[in-house]
């Protein structure tokens, strides 16, 4: 039965033209889908890069939180000593970055201590 239909389709010119147009449409659809997939792939790569950068920043923030917790768990006398050292070095004219480097503490903490004592 199918062979008979195919033979009949081949005989008529209209069917041949319809087949040609369908093949043309199919090739255009394939070309468009390829273009769309290319764009989707680019977006997926860009999102992956953003995700990687976010993961790195999350890791940095987690490390900072751990450092903050460690500072809070230090004995009060150690903190008092550190604060006094910061003030003393500041009064000697050292810059925030220099004090932070010498005492191995974040620059923001040094700046905070100095501002609190001003």
Domains of the chain, by residue range, sit at 75-118
Residue 80: pLDDT band (50, 70, 90) is: confident
Tell me: pLDDT of 79 over 80: no
Given a cut of 80, is residue 114 above it in pLDDT? yes
Q: Residues 75, 81: contact at Cβ < 8 Å?
A: no
| Average pLDDT of the segment spanning 12-31 | 83
Q: Are 97 and 90 in contact (CB under 8 A)?
A: no
Q: Examine the pLDDT at 7 and tell me if it is beyond 80.
A: no
The pTM assigned to this predicted structure is 0.42
CB 24 within 8 A of CB 16: no
């Amino acid at each position: 039965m199918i062979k008979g239909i195919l033979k009949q389709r081949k005989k008529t010119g209209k069917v041949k033209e319809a087949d040609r147009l369908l093949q043309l449409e199919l090739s255009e659809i394939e070309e468009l889908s390829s273009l769309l997939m290319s764009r989707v792939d680019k977006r997926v790569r860009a999102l992956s890069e953003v995700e990687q950068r976010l993961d790195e920043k999350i890791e940095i923030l987690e490390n900072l939180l751990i450092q903050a917790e460690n500072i809070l768990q230090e004995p009060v006398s150690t903190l008092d000593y550190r604060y006094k050292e910061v003030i003393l070095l500041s009064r000697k004219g050292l810059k925030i970055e220099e004090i932070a480097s010498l005492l191995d503490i974040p620059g923001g903490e040094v700046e905070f201590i100095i501002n609190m004592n001003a």
